[in-house]
Structure 1
């Protein structure tokens, strides 16, 4: 049995930037063990699998270690593949995840816009056990559905963070989003998730379902620009729509291959 696989750099307009994701179109679902093994073999932060279901696509996302509830960059990569290499007609793709519900991706030139549920974040008391994994003290901490959101004073703090991944990994969450007001964009961020086997994710679309509502309130604006300050960097445009968030980015195809499954 063979299956086509794509590798796409998401949230970037150039190769070797943004966040690489593998995309595997399927005619029908493989077993959970096979899906997890493929993701482990790919050894990318995320591998997306989708199956056509009438006029929509069912989608799932796996890190090398676990299945996750939502992944922005691998959804963007999947839409890029569908629009450009798998003959999807029209400018909108309807997706469904059993873990995250209905999702859409809309094409505007070479920009793709994800429409995801907005996260509901709550401010917590800033205790030392929460930020002990960082060399700089945040000024506030929030908790969303799956992640903590740590707010810092400025962009320099975000760049200079030296995380202790063993300490961060002790927290009961998917990962830690760190953020501050940007110097050339509205806000910047990084994302650490040793809990999922990825110390630092290069660009995390799903984290912006927490970031966009926070910064929309702080800056009193609904349309926002953002950069994730990993080594690869990524650029995003966000729009806060109360219960939903639009997250826009570009993508570049790096590789097309064939998986051989016995």
Structure 2
């Protein structure tokens, strides 16, 4: 659940949930099933406590006008990567993927959240996943995620969006920093809540047939809530 409503799938919350189950001794390393509104999906808990969640195979939808998106982000379309489209992609949730040229531009973005919400609703998407192929630590992309339509102005780690982004980068041949089917995305640095999201693609005959997203969990704090 977001502050506004229920979503079909939430990657980082799933990773956190299985970490809690592991750390409290309810489960041991292995492969588990979870039921979601996006389907029944595998979750792999590894011996080193890293956790990878299966997502749906990618679906590529319409290409969106760059100027429309740029105006809502208060940037120009010339600050976007020329050869890459603004496109809706889903591995469980529909997101608008927005390529910008550099980290400086990405960090400086101050969205018009009312317009981002309107456009997200218009295209039946959760929000924007804005990224640069530049990175701080040799990753495949540096990202920011805006989902004001669902009550989230910006999110520090978005598993479903980064799963979709890895499929998009693979489709358009922008996966040359690491092995062809393994990706690392940086997110949350603009919020001072850095995260590193790992994505693994299973590919047959140049077609993505499987997606896993995850990483390691850092326990920031524990609180007791009376229900």
Q: TM-score range by the shorter chain?
A: 0.7 to 0.9
Q: Which range moves more in the overlay, 184-193 or 148-157?
A: 148-157
Q: 234-243 or 93-102: which moved more? A: 93-102
- Measured against aligned partners, the alpha-carbon deviations of 1:33-76 in whole angstroms (never above 9, x if no partner) come to xxxxxxxxxxxxxxxxxxxxxxxxxxxxx112200011011000
**Which fold has the larger relative contact order, with Cα–Cα distance below 8 Å and residues 6 or more apart in sequence?**
1
TM-score (norm 2): 0.80
Cα distance between partner residues in 2 of 1:127 and 1:105 = 37
Choose between structure 1 and 2: higher helix proportion.
2
Say whether residues 1:176 and 2:125 are aligned partners. no
Q: 2:134–2:140: 8 Å Cα contact kept in structure 1?
A: yes
Contact 1:97–1:103 under 8 Å retained in 2: no
1:174, CA displacement in angstroms? 0.9
Check the 8 A contact 2:19/2:49 in 1, yes or no.
no
Cα 1:143–1:182, aligned 2, differ >3 Å: closer, same or farther? Answer: same
Equivalent in 172, 185, 188 of residue 226 of structure 1: 185
Question: Unaligned 5+ residue runs, structure 1?
Answer: 1-61
- What is aligned with 2:226? 259
RMSD (Å) for aligned C-alpha atoms: 1.9
More strand by share: 1
Check if 1:167 corresponds to 2:115. Answer: yes
Gapped regions of structure 2 (runs ≥ 5): 203-207
Provide the C-alpha distance between the structure 1 equivalents of 2:218 and 2:64, rounded to a whole number of angstroms.
Answer: 41
2:201 corresponding residue in structure 1: 240
Tell me the TM-score normalized by structure 1.
Answer: 0.70
Aligned to 1:34: none
Q: Does residue 1:142 correspond to 2:87, yes or no?
A: yes
Number of the residue aligned with 2:205: none
